[in-house]
Structure 1
Amino acid sequence: MDDDKHKPKLEFWFGDQHSDDNGRETIRQVYKNFVGDNTDGTGSGTNGNVFVFTEDYWKPTDAQIPGVGADGTKPYCTLEKDGKTGTAYFKRTDDKKPAMHFCDKVWDRTDLATLTADSCSKLGDHVSTAAWTKNFIGANVLHEYMHYPRIGKDAVGTQIGDVVYDAFQCRALAVNDDVEQRKKTIVNADTYVWYALEIAFTELCAKDFAGPRDERDDDESNQDWPDSDPGTDDPNNGACDCDENGCTPDSPACCANGSC
């Protein structure tokens, strides 16, 4: 983000409401919370506080996901909406531990080395949901971590949720005629994914990519059903979410009188 050549991408994805110095620093802090010092290449130690379960542990109710037959007994990944299935979710466990689960189809997606092989030929010439995030497991992992309050909320001050999905709709949000809608880019998980991916692939592939186009009508089966809305996952509605008498690995700085 410090490279001047990538500055236009900040407004491209986050819009004119967050492209000034203050917005830039806030967005940088989100990524810093995720990456940390990265001395061993594994990112921030904060990431290790999140449990990744192989079991599809969330069984939503109809009130949580209306109109898909959710009844509190069916695992999330088995539900369908308009022929589409879910990808992943960030959802605290019953004992309030931060956790996430990735549906089986995510594990069929490839890694960075495979995606950028052969001079990045698999990526095409434009920013593409179909070619990029539907083929790259790292994009799905980054998206879910944006929902973790110690990554996103601690930097932004508000839970990062899901306003819109995919590259085309994220770009449309950034240039929405309604200024109140444009402001929402900073709390939209997929916006962080697309901003990071475009910079990364521009550098790794030594090429510029054209902007995204609407691919939703190309192959409807290729569009994931949106994942869970983590806005419902904050039981304290923004208040300090730990025991004020002690610290846990998931404690924000406000806990235990600021001693965490």
Structure 2
Amino acid sequence: MYSKFSSVCAASLFISNVLGLPTSRDSITALSLPTNLKHHIHVRAEPNTGDEDLNPDEEPHPNKLEKVERAFADAFELASYATTVIDDPNRQGIFTKYFNEEDRANVRKVFTTIWTQPEDQNAPAADGGSPFLGEIMVQQSDSRNLCGDPRLIAYLDQNNAPNDVAIVLCPRAFNKKGVTAIEGQDPQGPGSENHYLTCDAIGDNVSFRMNSLGMTLLHEYTHYNRMLESIFNAPIIDQEDASGNDIGYGPVQVRTLDKALAKLNADSYAYFASEALWSVLCQKDYGDPVSGQDDNDPDCDNTSCTG
């Protein structure tokens, strides 16, 4: 039996599958709050945005700023589901598809650090969540001129941390859909399929189709050394082989990556969290990703997105 998870799954399944609709902001938050933590997801710090870069009056709606603000919520939802599934005895097998069993506690700490208020009361003041998220500016201005790479969806510029830290979202990032409700688009209205992920649209395998803008933000959050490096005494990076080739991006590579490296690989966290979230919301077990089918993201030149 799934105890409290049974009601979560049943309600979410009804919304997403039976009604054929994406889950609304209110319903997903009510259903998804982890029961094993004393914190609440609505008490948290968030990155910043600037009106000069992401214009709140941009047309049409939902505009880029509204997509980013929804992605903040989605990233926290992903982290909260990941934290819960790590401790769910009926779903613990998802974890070992990505990480070594011995790393379970520290991987949990990565996710809880992102979305819960830290136990360290001497940490920098913030509304909640990791105070370090409040040091980050999310922008579309390509400060390092990297977005010409057709595979790159986003990157974290932390060379001047903590005073000047930015997550740069490349234009292709704004093609990504989301989970929670977004200003300017009724989840049940015409055109909702352009802004919301659904169980039917994702399909049966772990794949790039799970990649929301919030998942992109979560990937970049894991790179922020001031927030997470102390957990493993090493930065969470994008793993490469000895020749400098990427070996840790996308749904296929994160499953074939040496699990000794996975704890220090950003996309391993992103895809684990996504599989955790959708396995609960859609009440299903996802098949393994298929190379050349589930990693050929059209937003990133028909290959896995990098960041």
> Is TM (by shorter chain) over 0.5?
yes
Extract unaligned runs of 5+ from structure 1: 59-74, 174-180, 228-260
Match of 2:130 among 31, 44, 54: 44
* 1:200-237 residue CA offsets vs partner (Å, 9 max, x unmatched): 1011111111111113569682225533xxxxxxxxxx
Q: Which one of the candidate residues 176, 185, 191 is aligned to 2:262?
A: 185
Given the alignment, which residue of 71, 88, 95 partners 2:154?
A: 88
User: Which has the higher relative contact order, 1 or 2, with Cα contacts under 8 A spaced 6 or more apart?
Assistant: 2
TM-score, with length taken from structure 2: 0.56
- Counterpart of 2:290 (choices 213, 228, 239) is 213
Match of 2:253 among 142, 165, 169: 169
Partner secondary structure for residue 5 of structure 1: coil
Q: Which residue in the other structure is 1:76 paired with?
A: 146
Tell me the SS of whatever aligns to 1:76: coil
| Matched letter for residue 108 of structure 2 | R
* AA of the residue aligned to 1:223: T
In structure 1, what is the Cα distance between the partners aligned to 2:128 and 2:201?
26
Give the corresponding residue for 2:171: 104
| Residue identity opposite 1:207 in structure 2 | K
Q: CA RMSD for the aligned pairs? A: 2.6
Change (3 A) 1:11 1:159: same
115 and 214 in structure 1: CA distance in 2 versus 1, 3 angstrom threshold: farther
The equivalent residue for 2:271 is 194
The letter of the residue matching 1:102 is L
Contact kept in structure 2, 1:30 and 1:156, CA below 8 Å = no
Amino acid at match of 1:100: I
1:116 deviates by: 4.1
Query: 1:12 aligned to 2:79?
Result: no
Which of the residues 109, 122, 138 maps onto 2:214?
A: 138
Separation in 1, partners of 2:177, 2:235: 29
Q: Distance in 2 between matches of 1:145 and 1:223?
A: 22
Deviation of the 1:152 alpha carbon: 2.7
Give the secondary structure class of the aligned counterpart of 2:155.
Answer: strand
Aligned residue in 1 for 2:79: none
Contact 2:250 2:304 in 1 (8 A): no
Alpha-carbon distance between aligned partners in 2 of 1:168 and 1:224, rounded to the nearest angstrom: 9
Q: For residues 29 and 126 of structure 1, do their structure 2 counterparts lie closer, same or farther at Cα, with a shift above 3 Å needed?
A: same
Q: Which moved more, 1:3-12 or 1:186-195?
A: 3-12
Q: Amino acid of the residue matched to residue 124 of structure 1?
A: G
Deviation of 1:123 (Å):
0.8
Matched positions, count: 189
Q: Counterpart of 1:69?
A: none
Aligned to 2:142: 56
Give deviations 1:169-204, integer Å, cap 9, x for gaps. Answer: 11011xxxxxxx431111000000111111110111
**Superposition map of 1:143-158 within 5 A:** 143-158=219-234
Deviation string 1:18-74 (CA, Å, 9 cap, x unpaired) is: 313xx1111111001101149xx984333111122331111xxxxxxxxxxxxxxxx
Using the size of structure 1 for normalisation, the TM-score is: 0.65
In 2, Cα distance between equivalents of 1:89 and 1:217: 20
Bigger shift: 216-225 or 149-158?
Answer: 216-225
Aligned match of 2:21 = none
Point out the more displaced range, 105-114 or 139-148. 105-114
Measured in 2, the distance between the counterparts of 1:225 and 1:198 equals: 17
Q: Which residue of 1 aligns with 2:52?
A: none
In structure 2, the partner of 1:127 is: 206
- Counterpart in 1 of 2:111? 31
